[in-house]
Amino acid sequence: MKPLVFLGSARKDLGAFPKPVRSEIGFALYGAQLGDTHAKAKPMKGLPLVEIVEDHDRSTYRAVYTVKFAGAIYVLHAFQKKSKSGIATPQANMDLIRKRLKVLQAAHRAGETP
């Protein structure tokens, strides 16, 4: 089973989600550790990432992770979607996800752990 590695504030942010959301996302991440893909886990277009989307009490919560690096499942970001229009991930969140992915890729190339 691959370990989970949280980047930046992802662990703290996920911990702030309502308990049912934490449980569902945690179950999906556990499945990823075992090599499975949860029904709510979808690939992010154009990036080597997977996004879990969970709705609760008229709010939407998301967690973004990657399985593309040997040795661990890296959780890049967890957030509550604030935008009321459309299903796209807000640009500020995408910028943070891309930044953390670049840090992860650079660390991986250098043989380091982020």
**How does strand 4-6 pair with strand 73-81?**
parallel
State the burial class of residue 81 (Cβ atoms within 10 Å of its Cβ: 0-12, 13-18, 19+): middle
| CATH pick for 4-109 out of 3.40.50.300, 3.20.20.450, 3.30.2310.20, 3.40.50.970 | 3.30.2310.20
Question: What integer pLDDT is reported at residue 113 of this predicted model?
Answer: 73
Domain ranges of the chain: 4-109
Q: What is the mean pLDDT of the chain?
A: 92
For residue 114 the two structure tokens come to 């982020």
Residue with tokens 């893909």: 37
Digit-coded pLDDT (tens) for 43-86: 998 899 999 999 999 899 999 999 998 889 999 999 998 766 66
Among 1-5, 15-19, 30-34, 85-89, the minimum mean pLDDT is found in 85-89
Question: What integer pLDDT is reported at residue 43 of this predicted model?
Answer: 95
Within a 10 A sphere around the Cβ of 98, how many other Cβ atoms?
14
